[in-house]
Amino acid sequence: MSASRFAIFVVAALLGAAPKAPDAPGDPKLISIHPFTGQRGATFAATVRGSGLRDVNAVFVENAPFTASIEGIENEAAGKTSKTAVDVVRLRIQVGENAKPGRYPFRLVTPRGISNALQLHILDLPISAEPEGSHETPDTAVSVEKLPVIFNGRIGRRGESDFYAFDVTAGQTLTFEAISGLSSIGAAGGNAVGFDPSISIFEPSGSWFDPKRINRVAFNDEPLWVIGRLTDAYLVHKFP
């Protein structure tokens, strides 16, 4: 007989030094895009951050099942996430109904040249946006009502974690993955700004001293950061 139980999934992300964008004018450089996942058949807005992008005039997409148009360009002053000002480009992306799931590169075009590539990840699963507010404790965990699901989350500062709460059945096996939309190094991936996500699974256990105590039952983080290798976390776990 299977028994219902409750577990908590956390994506704990560590940020290296805040990405430093060179002063414009300069070569166009893309740092990040959010969100970087889209469901086939969907139309959504995405925000690209980088440098040397103030006069972007086109989006270069090759053999990808989506179109992208520029909706606005602005400058974001230096703040908590960057020590220098950052150019912000807002895109409108439309994904084809029959788009093949996968990662597809795109670049932005300026009069000074073409930027480095970032990737959009096209999926055929439901995608939800991470709710507003902090989700850094079990009490504030995002409630996951149905599986499978994909969340477009965002890590806004160094060391931030997000909790997600869900129910499982005894003997059920689930797969978890935390992927990054930051610029990559090398053909196999990895990223240039030190972003390194990890995944932990917790279950509520409670104790005489702390009725809200949680125990970690599984964890994944690649053991080494190597240029050209992915820093994304991947975990398959069977719940006993």
Domain ranges of the chain: 4-16+126-238, 29-123
pLDDT tens-digit readout, 149-166: 999 988 777 788 899 999
Top CATH class of 29-123 equals mainly beta
- Please, which pLDDT band fits residue 4 given cuts at 50, 70 and 90? very low
Cβ 180 vs Cβ 33: under 8 Å:
no
**Rounded CA separation 187/121 (Å):** 16
- Predicted TM-score of the model (pTM): 0.76
Average pLDDT for 6-15: 47
Nearest CA-CA partner of 65 in 48, 40, 45 = 40
Summarised one tens digit per residue, pLDDT across range 182-218 is 655 544 444 556 677 889 999 988 777 777 788 999 9
- pLDDT averaged over every residue in the chain: 82
